[in-house]
Structure formats: structure tokens, C-alpha cells
Amino acid sequence: MSPMNIIWMIAMPFIGAAIGLLYIGISRNITARVQNRFGPPPYQNIIDIIKLYSKKTAITHGVMFHLGPVLAITGTISTLMFVPILTGNYPIYLFSFQGDLILLMYIMVFGCLAMALGAGQSGNPNSAIGVSRGLTQMFGYEVPFVIALIILMVRFDTSSVLDIIKAQDTVAHWNIFRSPFSFIAAIAAFLGMMGNKPFDIVFAPAEISSGPPSEYGGKYLALMQTNRGLFAFVKLVLYTDLFLGGAGDFITLILKTFALFLIPLFIGIVNPRFRTEQAMTFFWKWPTAIGVVGLVLVLL
Amino acid sequence: MDSKLIKEQEIKRNINNAFRSAEVTVVRRRRISVRFRAGILPAFISYLKEYMGFVHLVMISCVDWLEDNQFELVYHLWSYEEHIHAMIKIRLDRDNAQIKSLSSLWPHAETYEREIHEMFGVDFEGHPGLTDLILEDWSDLPPMRRDFDTRAFVAETFEWRKGREDAQDVRQTISARYGETIPEFKKDK
Amino acid sequence: MAALLTKEKETTLYLGPQHPGITGNMMVELKLTGDTIQRAKTHVGYLHRAFEKLMEERLWMQCFPIVCRICVPEPDPNEENLARAIEEIEGREVPERAQYIRVLMLELARITAYLMWMGGQSGSMGLYTMPQWSIGDRDYILDLFEELTGGRVYHMYIWAGGVRRDLPVGFKDRVRKVMDYIESRLVDYDRLLFENAIFLKRAQGIGIIDKEKALEWGVVGPPLRGCGIAHDVRKDEPYEVYDQLDFELITHEGNDVYSRAMVRRKEIEQSIHIIRQVLDKMPSGPIHNPGPNPLKWKVPAGDAYVRTESARGEFGYYVVSDGSLKPRRVHVRGPAYVHGIALLEHLLQGANVADVSFIMNSLGTCPPEIER
Amino acid sequence: MNDDLDRQNNNIIANWARKHSLWVLAYGTGCGAIEVPPTMTSRYDAERFGITGMATPRQADVLLITGYLAIKTLKRVIRTYEQMQAPKYVIGFGSCTINGGMYWDSYNTIKRLDDYIPVDIFINGCMPRPEGVIDGFIKLQERIARGQAKGWQHYQENLDWYRANQKKVIKNWTMPDYNW
């Protein structure tokens, strides 16, 4: 491992979190413009996190409650380590290996499970309901997501993200055009993963306060918000790698990830949220069906 | 006048045929007022509901007539067919206020009766649960009675801020507590 | 498996008083198995200010600033009710122009209440763009109120014998302009909320009121008309000049949250229509039929029940006077008293926990008028 | 203990962040709650100043007491206030929090809010206009930046006095005596 890689390993979580939080800040601004107002400055989320770190935190609900946010961010950082971020002249891929796509499928769930364990111990019924909703929803979107990944794996006969990126050498070869079925299934799963409007049943403020984090405050919440920014970044980079041919430099990366980020944002602004069972029906109906069609086509 | 109030007069006749003791007065168009005795109230009200079309229980009011040592319960009913509002007034002895509950006729009568029980101390027989509706841990007289003096209660329980009493600047008492000076008004020239 | 399901542990969930989904300040205690509500119980009384007691301590004139605080989103029906009850006991006539201005106020207030409700209803299912639009647009009407009465929220404008001020110069044109604007915005509201596929999916078949029982349950206002039963105080017992105005009674079949929403949506159009007629037909003349000196104002002994159609349904006042300087008793019947306690508990049985706030908003539950 | 609190209060970076990110607890305790939606929504847009609503007390910084408190609500408000994480601020909104306002002779509402929980800013008016509310928030921001908004510290130091006042009004004290 080269020293450059070690530096990137340390720096990447911070850069990723900053980019993710900025995206969320910009999304607040875009939402505000749709809603006829100005909205906060784009760096508002970073201010919020500094404030949360500066708050006293005097809540205790047992060991898992403390460990939950820590494990969640650990899971996210380790996911980041396995996602190739840049390919090109100055590549950043830290621990990529043959078969990392299968590992990613599992390790992405790790953070959510850690959160569920932590929130579950808080004893707040809102958290408990939120956790059960979150796990249910995960079952929902994992199905089209896994199908989409299997389509890619079968098609390129590999389970390495780097190989998939290499296969998409020109714009016409991007997977968004070459295997649209896989893309549609994956983007539907993406909506669920990002937790934007139709699928924010986990955090639904008007229904269950704010769901799993309702007992978390101060520094715990700061960790969770950081995790949220970082996880958004990780997911965006992974989707860019899989469907938009990866990125050669940071500017391309930011353009591509931001374009992807806008999809759930614009859907979220104008739609209310589903009930849990409606969200499940949605995931298991169209995206899964389209994914299965794609899979059949690829296998043929 | 009489020619316009045909429907009202007819209802008055019908009520008097069934219940002779009911004193019915036609107040104005669309309003009749009935004085009745407490004993067979549920029968009378269910007669109005089933046969006269007064299906909508608007509300149950209670008025405290301290001078007569009586409570007056007023049942407001509304007929959607005839568009007539009936007020059934019942006087109860203030010391021993008891009446039969109407919660079997209308589900929302239960709430009104709970409130009257809490605010006036009227007992409703056959009510499923006369628990507190609005107040919590109230140990004084029922507060809506005329002999409950809210100003004396307030003076006893709460402390007023100086300024309410002697018209001084309220900010002085606030700033004295936190040890700060009152900001000066900036006067523009 | 069935045995396992029935054995499922019952949890208690307290929704409120501090909860973003609750309208105002009240609590709903839910007994849940899984996501399904077995029993619901409402707890009210967090906003009890003892208005009825306070009014027994005040002069008749001092009651007007108090009653408007009973219902915060739509205070005008309260002033209207108290004024009409006093006028009925006293037998005081109200000039015709004042009656038209009262109708104007009431209908404007109805539109503000519906815009506020739209915000609440869509906020309860996470559509946060709608409250931003509708509450922002509501401010244009509040500006009109401010110009006419001096207050944004509490107006204290309608009093016994008429209204407090005449319309300022050019006010009618500004009302027309705002009405045109709101009418043009209705298209956007339709696209965003009332025709939204997810809203339809969530609202249809939820919170069904038994149509046969609706009248007996004491359901009034838009929830009643959402059961397809055409009753409205403005038609049943016309007050002020409503019998001279042309408007339609909106009903909608379906008995569910969606039909209640559609009734309210269409009533906004009717209100705009009424306001335009009022502006056209308004005669000139006096606006107030003055009574005695307020400090020596004694209302003759008697009692009166008056009712007004507010945005949530029938708002009634029972006023008793014993001929003294102060009221003997003023009893307020808010529509939310029935909707928010007995009906809500009934509708929540068997509902999903996600729909509590949704159903509450569709019934127009407003705690301050429950406990006064 | 006190030095530690003072050091926290005077941390410039933390105060800057606290100032620009005020999360208001969504708790409509009184009729003033009707002017909060206009303040937060498109016409007045308080989010420009970093003021956002928050769903649970654990996450909120500002407790907005929107008007009179009935005694039944006061009990819940104290509980809510103690669940919030320090530093936390209280805004008394409306005349009725200052001296009872028009409910001065009501048996069920408290007359002086600062007898029961420490108040950092009062906004008067019945009810205050959204401009007034935003002005109150900006005054609070100035106080936070100067390290003066230390009502929470005042509450910790004078807990006995506050408790005595609270227990005088709330008859049935079923809460834990100290919970934050």
C-alpha cells in the first residue's frame, strides 16, 4: 500500500462527509426555491453539526445506545474503503478486490443494522416503531437492488466494481444505456435508500416524532448527521461507478454524483410519503418486475 | 306571527299530547324551549329523538342559578328535517344534583356530561366513567360554580409580577431577577 | 400463526402533547399491536383557560376580545356568534351594510382556515411544499384583515349592533385582487395535493364515518358533507344575508379523508364566489347600530342559542343573561368538541398508526375550542 | 463546575455555531402557535437564519413557549425542558407569559413563566407578529454570541428555587426530581 493511499484513506471520510453535507445543504436550498423562499445558506448543515458537537450530551440508555451511532459510522467508512472513488490518471481505490461487489451488498446494510440496534435500546416506542419500519423498508428496496447488481454481474461476468467501470469506457457504453432495466430497478432502490420523500417512512416526523433518532441528541446526533452525509456520498459514488462509468477526476465525480442526487430530491419535493405497506408494494411490484425482466434478458 | 310558525306550533302540540307536564314555548322561528322535570328525562329525550326527528344533540349546557340554589341543565337538540332547535331545560337541586345519563343515546353526550360533572359537580347516573376531562389534580370547588371565586384563587396560588399591580415597567422585575440593566430606547432625531 | 399474532404484545404509545403530528396541544393515547391501533383515548385540557368563567367576570363589551381567542385559526365565527346572541336577546337591529361586511369577514376567515388546514393535512403526510405555499398565500388575506381591523389573527371586529370600522378606500379592489390570485393558485394546489397519486392512495378508504350514523354522532361541517349529506347552517338556518346570496352546497360521496378534503377544496371556490357577490351587492349606509354606554350596558334577562357555519362545522353559542352588567353564562359549542374526542376515538380503532395525524387533520381537530 | 460552564459559554466557535443553528421544538403550547407556521414558511422564512423545527426535545435547542401555560401543560413543559440537551434556550412568546396577559384572573394558567423555567427572551404582544418573532430570535442570537444566554445555567444553579415554585402549582408531582 502506497503512502498516498494511506493519506487518502484518512482524508476521504472527511471529504466525503463534507461533500455529502454540502449536497444536503444545497438540496435544502433547492427545496426552498420550489417553496417560494430563500432557504438557509448551503453550508447550514455543517454549522448544525459543529453546534451539535458543542452541545452537552447527558442521555444514557445502555451500551448499545452509545455504540449505535459509532458502529453506524464505522460501517459507512468501511463501505467507503471498498468503493472505487476515482479511476483515471490519479486513481483512488483503497481496498478494491475481485468480488467486492458482493461484499458491498452486505456491508452497506451494516450501518443501518447498527442504528437499529442502538435505537432499539433507547426504549422510546417511536424509535421501536421507526426501527421496525426501517427494517421492513430495507427488505423492500434490497430486492430490486440485489437484482440490479446481479444483472450487472451476469452481464460483465465479474463481481469487481473496477471491472464494471472499465467496461464502460465510452458514454454509449454506460450501463444507464446498456442495461436500462438494471438502472431502473437500481434507481428505485436508490430512492428508498436515500430516504427522500415518498420513502421517508422511517423518520416520518408527523407520525412517529422522528423515528429511530428520537432519543438521540447532542453529539450522538452529530455523529448520525455526519453519517448521513457520508453515506449519501458513498451511495452516490457507488451508483456513479456502476451506471455512469465512474469518474476520472473530482469535477466529473461531483457533476455525476450531483446529477444522481437531484433525482430523489425532485421526486421528494412534490410527493407525500407512503405508508409502510404501500412502500413495500411499490418496491416489490414495478422495480422488481422490471429487474426480473432485465435478468431474464441477460440470461438469455 | 302565528301563521309563520306552523311547524313550531305543530311540534308543540305533539309534545304536549305525549307529555302533558312539558311546558313548551315557541321562542321565535326555529326555536322552541321546553321546561321539563328531571325524573323521566331519558324517556322524553328519546321520544324527541326517535319520533320527532331531533337526532342531533348539539350540546348540554349547565347554568348555575346560585340565588335559587338550582342548576339548570339545558339540552340543545336540532332537527335536521324541520330545521328546528329545541332547548330542554331542567332544574336540579344544587345540593343534591343528580340526573340520568344520556350516554346510551348519543356517544358524544358522554363527553359533555363528563365536563359538566367536572366543572359543576353534577352527578350523572349510569355514566360509564365520570373521570376528569380537562382539569388535572383539582381539589378545590368545581370551578364553574358561581361560588368559586377565581380571583381569590389566583391571588392565593400565583404570584403576580410587579407592574400588573402598580403600573410600573414590567421589564424591571425581569431584569432584577437576572441582574441585567434595561436597554435604553434609542430615540431617532 | 394466528395464535401467535393475537398474543402479540400490546404497547402503549402516547402521541402528544409534544408531537409534531398533533394539531395543537392535546394527547392521543394509543394501544397498539404492531402497527394497528386497538384502542384510542384522547386526553384534552392542556389549553384550558377558563374562558367561560372569565366571561362571567367581565362586562359584556369586554367579552369580545375574549371570545375570538377561543378558536385560533378562525376567530371570526366566535365574534359573530356572541354579537348575534346579544342582538337576539336585546332585539337590536343590524344595518344591512354591516351584515354584508360580516359575511365578507366570515368568508375570508373560512378561506384562511382552509388554507391552514391544507398545510396541516399535507404536512401530516410529509408534503412540506404545500404548507409553504398555502400558508404563504394565507398571509395575503391576513394583510387584508390587518388593513381592515388592525389585527392579523385576532380581529375583534364584529361587535353587537354591527361592525367596528367601515371599509377603507380601495379595499374592495384589493379583496378582488387577492381573490383572483387565490383562484389562480388553486390550479397549483390541485396538481400538488388533490390530484397527487400518493395522496389519493393514502386518503381513500381511510377514516370512514358510518353514513347512517353520521347525523346521530353529531358530525357537522365538511366531515358531514363528505358523507354526502347536504347540511350547512348557512342553508338550514340562514343568518345575516346568506339567504340573498347564491352559492352551492358542496357534498362528496365517500365518507373518507379524501371526500372531506374535496369538500373543503371546492368550498374555497364557493367562498370566493360569495365574496365576489358580497362586494358587488354591498349597499351603502351605516355600519353600526349603537347601544348604550359600554360601562353601563345591561343586556335584558333572557337566553339565546345562535349558530354559525365555521370552516370546521357548526359553531354555537348559548348565552344566558340575568339582566346585569355581566353575562350569566356563555357556553361555547365548538365542532371539534365532538370531532376531536368521541368521533376521533371511534375512527382510530383499527387504523394504522401512520394515519393518526392524517385523520385528526381531516376532522379539523382544534384543541383550543374543545377546552376553551 | 461553574468555571467549566462559563468556559463552555464563552467558546467563540461554539457560540457562533449555536447562534446560526437554532432548532425549535415543535410544541404548540398555546394560541401563539398559529403565528409560528407563517414565521417558518415562505413569507417570513425563518430558515434563512438557521431556525428550523425539530420533532423531539432531545434534538432541540429552543423551547418556544407560545403563550399562556395551563397547569396541566406546565407539567409537560418542565419535563420537556429537562429532557433537552444543554445549552438550551427558552423564549417566552406573547404577553401572557410575562404577566398573565388577558388571562390574569384565570384559575388555570400561570402568570409568570420565569418563576418556573428560566426565560432568555420575552417577546410581547398578543400575539406577536412574525416580524416580532424573528426579531426576538435575532436578539437571542446576539445574546448567545455574547455568551449571555445562560438561562440553563441559571436553572441548574437555582434548581431548588425553581422546584419549590413548580411544586407549589403542580399538586401531584409524579416526575423524577431531576432528569436531564
Rounded to an integer, what distance in angstroms lies between the CA atom of residue C335 and that of residue C337? 5
- The closest of C48, B133, C44 to D71, measured between CA atoms, is C48
Percent above pLDDT 70 for chain B: 94
Of C88, C316, C328, the CB nearest to B58: C316
- Locate the chain B residue with the closest alpha carbon to D100: B160
CB contact under 8 Å between A271 and C196, yes or no, is yes
Which range in A54-68, A123-137, C170-184 is most confidently predicted, on average pLDDT? C170-184
Q: Closest partner residue to B150 among D71, D106, D115, by Cβ?
A: D106
Determine, yes or no, domain membership for B90: yes
Which position has the higher pLDDT, A123 or A232?
A: A232
Domains, chain C: 2-23+34-371 (1.10.645.10)
Confidence of residue D178 (pLDDT cuts 50, 70, 90): low
Strands D62-66 and D89-93: what pairing? parallel
Min Cα distance A213 → chain C (Å) is: 14
Write out pLDDT tens, residues C250-261. Answer: 888 888 889 989
Rounded to whole angstroms, the Cα distance separating C49 from D31 reads: 11
Sequence-separated contacts (24+) of A98-105 with Cβ below 8 Å: A98/A158, A98/A159, A98/A160, A99/A159, A99/A160, A100/A159, A100/A160, A100/A161, A101/A149, A101/A152, A101/A153, A101/A159, A101/A160, A101/A161, A101/A164, A102/A159, A104/A79, A104/A161, A104/A238, A105/A145, A105/A146, A105/A149
C-alpha cell at B14: 305533539
Output b/e per residue, D145-169; b: 16+ Cβ within 10 A. eeeebbbbbbbbeeeeebeebbeee
pLDDT value of residue A253: 85
Beta-carbon contacts of residue C180 (< 8 Å; ≥ 6 apart): none
Confidence of residue D4 (pLDDT cuts 50, 70, 90): low
Angle at which helix A100-120 crosses helix A218-243, to 10 degrees, equals 160
For residue C17, cis peptide bond before it (omega within 30 degrees of 0): yes
Cross-chain Cβ contact C305/B76 below 8 Å? yes
Q: What is the mean pLDDT of residues B123-131?
A: 84
Q: What digits encode the pLDDT tens for the residues C190-217? A: 988 888 888 888 888 888 888 888 888 8
Q: For the structural domain made of D2-169, what CATH number should be given? A: 3.40.50.12280
What is the total residue count of chain D? Answer: 180
pLDDT value at residue C344: 86
Domain ranges across chain A: 3-299
**Facing residue for D87 by CB, picked from A37, A40, A55:** A55
Residue A9, preceding bond cis, omega within 30 degrees?
A: no
* Contact call for A35 and C129, based on CB within 8 A: yes
Domain residue extents for chain D:
2-169
Q: Do D104 and B154 touch (CB under 8 A)?
A: yes
* B133/C44 Cβ within 8 A: yes
Cell matching residue B107: 356517544
Query: Which band of pLDDT confidence, cut at 50, 70 and 90, is reported for residue B105?
Result: confident
Segments forming the whole domain that contains residue B24: 2-131
Count how many domains chain B has: 1
Predicted pLDDT of residue D5: 66
**CA–CA min distance B34, chain D (Å):** 34
Find which of D75, D78, D91, D112 to mutate to test the B interface (most B CBs within 10 Å of its CB).
D112
Q: What is the pLDDT confidence band of residue A7, given thresholds at 50, 70 and 90? A: confident
Selection from A134-138, B105-109, C85-89, D123-127 with the highest mean pLDDT? C85-89
Is residue B83 over pLDDT 60? yes
pLDDT at A144 over 60: yes
Do chain A and B touch: 3 or more Cβ pairs under 8 angstroms? Answer: no
End-to-end Cα, chain A, rounded Å: 41
Percent of chain C past pLDDT 90, that is, above it, reads 10
The tens digit of pLDDT for each residue in A246-263 reads 777 788 888 888 888 888
Would the CB atoms of A48 and D41 count as touching at under 8 Å? Answer: no
pLDDT in tens, B18-76: 888 888 888 888 888 888 887 788 888 888 888 888 888 888 888 888 888 888 889 99
Q: In the prediction, which pLDDT does C181 show?
A: 92
Q: What is the mean pLDDT of residues D115-129?
A: 86
Residues in chain B, overall count = 189
Written as nine digits, the cell of A258 is 450531483
pLDDT at D167 over 80: yes
Q: Alpha helices, DSSP H only, in C251-372? A: 257-281, 335-337, 344-348, 356-363, 367-371
DSSP state of B2: G
Phi and psi based region of residue D45 (left: phi greater than 0; alpha: psi -120 to 50; beta: remaining): left
- pLDDT at position B174, please? 74
pLDDT > 70 in chain A, percent: 100
For testing contact with chain A, the best of D47, D82, D144, D179 (most A CBs within 10 A): D47
Residue C122 backbone class (left: φ over 0; alpha: ψ -120 to 50; beta: rest):
alpha
B111 part of a folded domain: yes
A36–D55: do the CB atoms touch at under 8 Å? no
Task: Let me know if residue B154 belongs to a domain.
Answer: no
> Nearest residue of C to residue A207 by CA position?
C354
Q: Residue B122 sits in a domain of what CATH number?
A: 3.30.460.80
Higher-pLDDT residue of A93, D118: D118
pTM of the model: 0.90
Please report all neighbours of C, defined by 3+ CB atom pairs within 8 A: A, B, D
Q: Classify residue B43: in a domain, yes or no.
A: yes
What is the side-by-side order of every strand in the sheet holding C302-310?
A: C302-310, C313-321, C329-333
Cis ω for the linkage preceding D87 (within 30 of 0): yes
Task: Please state, for a pLDDT cut of 70, what percent of chain C lies above it.
Answer: 98
Residue type for position B154: V
CA B122 to chain centre: 11
Inter-chain CB proximity C329 and B76 less than 8 Å: no
The answer as to whether B45 is a domain residue is: yes
Taking 70 as the threshold, does the pLDDT of residue D133 lie above it? yes
Partner-chain residue, chosen from A31, A197, A276, that has the shortest CB–CB distance to C126: A197
What is the per-residue pLDDT across A119-142, written as a single tens digit (0 to 9) for each?
A: 878 777 888 888 888 888 888 888
Q: What is the pLDDT of residue C178?
A: 92
pLDDT digits (tens, 9 = 90+) for C94-110: 898 998 999 999 999 99
Question: For residues A94 and A81, what is the distance between their CA atoms, to the nearest angstrom?
Answer: 6
Chain segment A259-292, per-residue pLDDT in tens? 888 888 888 888 888 888 888 888 888 888 888 8
Beta-strand ranges (E) seen in chain B are 23-28, 31-36, 56-65, 70-79, 84-93, 98-100, 123-125
Size of interface B-D (CB pairs under 8 A): 57
Which of C46, C65, C136 has the CB atom closest to D73's CB atom? C46
The predicted structure's pLDDT at residue C112: 92
Mean pLDDT of C24-33: 84
Report how many helices (DSSP H) and strands (DSSP E) chain B contains, helices first.
Answer: 5, 7
Which residues from D are below 8 Å from B148, CB to CB?
107
Is residue B26 domain-resident?
Answer: yes
